Amino acid sequence: MKKSIKGSMTALLVLSFLLSVSVGVSAANERILIAAGTAFGVKFHTEGVVIAGIPGGAGPAAAAGLRRGDVITHINGQAITSAAQFADIIKGSGGAELTLEYQSGKLSHTVHLMPILDENGEYRLGVWVKDSAAGIGTITFIDPETMRFVGLGHGICDAESGALIPLAGGTAEEVELSGVTVGEAGAPGELRGSFCGKKLGKLTKNAETGIYGVLLEVPVGLEKERFPVGSQADVKEGKAYIFASVDTDGRAMYEIEISHIEKGGDSRNFLVHVTDERLLGKTGGIVQGMSGSPIIQNGKLIGAVTHVLVNDPAMGYGIFIENMLEAAG
């Protein structure tokens, strides 16, 4: 019996932090997409505010059952749109009871709690919150007909709870890579770079299978990088290739091996083993920021890199390209 690849090894999402139709097997085989493999910056604005910490593990919010990673969406029926607005409402409450609506994972909750005065005489709930995030990832593909794109191959989640963070909006931006921290066993590496200030497009959806959006234009040099979409049945154990941008030399193709294919599932559908000595020499294997690197096998776009195995940076997981398309709804 084939050994399951899920739950057997510790993996790390390799993010350094809408297609309009549902595509089945037959439709996917007829589709032509641009395989990108270019690094991009993600500036992500949350829907509501995300609890980033609970100082001392105590306070009104903790007592009411809120925890890190929960998303506060409303206070007294008012939609929360920023961390500054959240703080102003609490400070201006005068200590009166507040009704909070929040999401914890896929569940919605309502609680009532009383703010307390801190040492500075200001009312608090005992939480740190954030309303945005930023990181570097890789664009998997672009639909040349609509300019819609998908990247990462996994969703943007809270680091502690693993919950998917609701997206209120955001931008895809150009980044300049400056180097790489080489991955080692127990210490995954990462791409290093900075945002250039140039907007590439907008973000429209954060899903388990990736970050979705619309580009303003096809990045330079990618217009002819078109490949037919491969179905799950097209994915075979053996040699394949990825497109990735890991240094100042830009996008390049590297050899990998695919194994342990499992039909269905989430964003971990098969194992990826980096065999290309050039990539191993540059990065040690898969590093954070390579999430979304498109996988080509037998001339077809069949998937994307999603995770790195913490104890072996030459190994990671891949997702079927069909799953990324179908999740678009």
Which residues are known to be catalytic? 154, 276, 291
Burial of 247 (0-12, 13-18, 19+ CB in 10 A): middle
User: Are the beta carbons of 234 and 297 closer than 8 angstroms?
Assistant: yes
Positive/negative CA dihedral, 269, 271, 276, 277: positive
Phi, psi of 148 (to 5 degrees): -75, 145
DSSP-assigned beta bridge partners for residue 8:
none
The residues, any chain, with a CB within 8 Å of residue 129's CB and separated by 6 or more, are 49, 50, 51, 52, 72, 83, 86, 87
Residue 175: which of 135, 225, 220, 205 has the closest Cα? 135
Residue 243: which of 151, 175, 309 has the closest Cα? 151
At which residue do the structure tokens 């996988």 appear? 295
Residue 324, helix vs strand vs coil: helix
